[in-house]
């Protein structure tokens, strides 16, 4: 299956269970795979036959920088729903929401959730 990949999109949001997360906010990184047939676009060289990744970026940004959620699972679900609703040629998407600096003790690179949704 063909796909468009957006990696390491960086945003600032206010998601989390702890009051300081909602008040101070934190960084969020997002990786998205948009599953769509790219054959027609490759042959026509016409943007109308693909998904404009700049528009996809803006849709993702609106979710991550929008209304605060308790869980990054809800953020991921909101991104997937928005993308599937916004782009009719999109058959499925994989969304990974990463918290690089969650307020938990220990040594780690990040925490993340990843979901796959299709029509």
**Residue 23: CA count within 13 A, CB half-sphere:** 3
CB atoms within 10 A of CB 110: 11
Beta strands in the chain (DSSP E): 3-13, 26-35, 92-99, 111-118
Catalytic site positions? 99
Please name the residues in contact with 85: beta carbons below 8 A apart, sequence gap of 6 or more.
Answer: none
Q: Where are the alpha helices (DSSP H) in 25-71?
A: 39-44, 53-64
């Amino acid at each position: 299956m063909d796909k468009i990949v957006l990696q390491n999109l960086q945003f600032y949001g206010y998601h989390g269970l702890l009051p300081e997360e909602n008040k101070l906010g934190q960084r969020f990184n997002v990786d998205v795979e948009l599953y769509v047939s790219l054959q027609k676009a490759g042959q026509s060289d016409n943007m109308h036959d693909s998904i404009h990744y700049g528009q996809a970026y803006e849709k993702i940004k609106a979710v991550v920088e929008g209304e605060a959620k308790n869980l990054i699972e809800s953020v991921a679900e909101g991104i997937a729903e928005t993308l599937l609703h916004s782009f009719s040629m999109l058959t499925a998407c994989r969304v990974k929401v990463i918290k690089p600096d969650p307020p938990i003790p220990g040594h780690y690179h990040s925490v993340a959730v990843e979901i796959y949704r299709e029509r």
